[in-house]
Amino acid sequence: MEFTYYKTFPSELKEEWNQLLAKSANDVPFLRFEYLADWWQTRGGGEWPSEAELAILVAHEGSELVGIAPLFLTEHEGRKKLMLLGCIEISDFLDLIVSADRSRVFLEALLNYISDQLMPQGIHSVDLYNLLEDSPTVQQLSEARKAAGFEVNKTVLQHAPFISLPGDWELYLESIDKKQRHEIRRKMRRAAEADASVEVYFTSDQSNVEEDTQAFLGLMAQDPEKAVFLTPAMREQFKISIQRAFENGWLQLAFLQVDGENAAAYLNMDYQNRIWVYNSGLDRRFMEYSPGWVLLGHLLMWANENKRSAFDFLRGNEDYKYKFGAVDRFVCRVTLSKKI
């Protein structure tokens, strides 16, 4: 197995990269070549300094691409580290990219390469954030680290709840708590019967993407915490990501409109037969219509009717997610450092 170290994005590997991701254990939108290339362009919306360096490690056996470690090199917690592209703030799930049948041998070779070729250059550790706890990578890193002489530490970071969908709206409702089922139905019915016109709008035309993106960011910014989060660099990251998702057919940008005004919005990704709930915004002038709950109900109805397999709330244990029937998963951090 031979490794190539890339200090710039290997655009010639874009197609192979995404094909390998499709065969990996965790084919998530945050690992697509396009997403990570855009993330690097803004350094995660300004999360990381421009001095950070790409360190993408690509493994081949002959002409076959067998594994990708999408890494970068930066200072973190006062140490020089290799970290996963996409971390930490805005890419909910990350991983190494390798097909399930080659994972173990790739990880062993990767850790040996890092130990022999990179650690002597003053790198303190390999610090991998936002791995799904049930990813094969987590277990196999613990096993592979022995031969390369690493110590490994795993920390659970956050809840990552999701809903498995039955493909039928009524069946879905019957699967959740009776009180919450009643509340969802009541709020959706009240919005439908309101004197105002209450409608769901999906961004579906390229000519509307820029305007709808601005409208979404405007709703996000009505939350004081999100307003602080939306720096100019972060706004640019959102704009690029939304445009790229639209170009690739993953975008689900939905608004609840009351008499033509945007009352609530969800920015989701419709990827691999799964809805990934990325962010949201709300105009509190319309709270009498319960716009967040009503829009979420319509999106769950759409997902069931269109036979999506799951509704993934990504990271965060906000109470409303569980009221809609989500069950927990967790993301973790795995750190590998050399024994002293």
Which pLDDT tens digit goes with each residue over 234-244?
999 999 999 99
Q: Give the residue carrying structure tokens 């319960």.
A: 290
Domain residue spans of the chain: 2-159+331-338, 162-312
Give, in words, the CATH class of 2-159+331-338: alpha beta
Are the C-beta atoms of 10 and 69 separated by less than 8 Å?
no
Q: Is the pLDDT of residue 148 over 80?
A: no
Are the C-beta atoms of 217 and 230 separated by less than 8 Å?
yes
In percent, the amount of the chain with pLDDT more than 70 equals 99
- Other C-beta atoms closer than 10 Å to the C-beta of 51 total 9
Tell me whether the CATH fold assigned to 2-159+331-338 matches the one assigned to 162-312.
Answer: yes
- The model's pTM is 0.95
Peptide bond connecting 163 to the previous residue in cis, omega within 30 degrees of 0: no
Are the C-beta atoms of 120 and 309 separated by less than 8 Å?
no
Are the C-beta atoms of 278 and 268 separated by less than 8 Å?
yes
Are the C-beta atoms of 121 and 158 separated by less than 8 Å?
no
What is the bridge-based pairing of β-strands 79-84 and 125-132?
parallel
In sequence order, what are the residues at sequence separation of 6 or more whose Cβ sits closer than 8 angstroms to the Cβ of residue 228?
Answer: none
Buried b (16+ CB within 10 A) or exposed e, 65-84: bbbbbbbbbbebeeeebbbb
Q: Is the pLDDT of residue 340 over 70?
A: no
Q: What is the dihedral of CA 290, 295, 301, 306, to 10 degrees?
A: 180
Fold held by 162-312: Aminopeptidase (3.40.630)
Mean pLDDT (the chain, rounded)? 96
Which pLDDT tens digit goes with each residue over 45-62?
999 999 999 999 999 999
Strand, coil or helix: what is 122?
A: coil
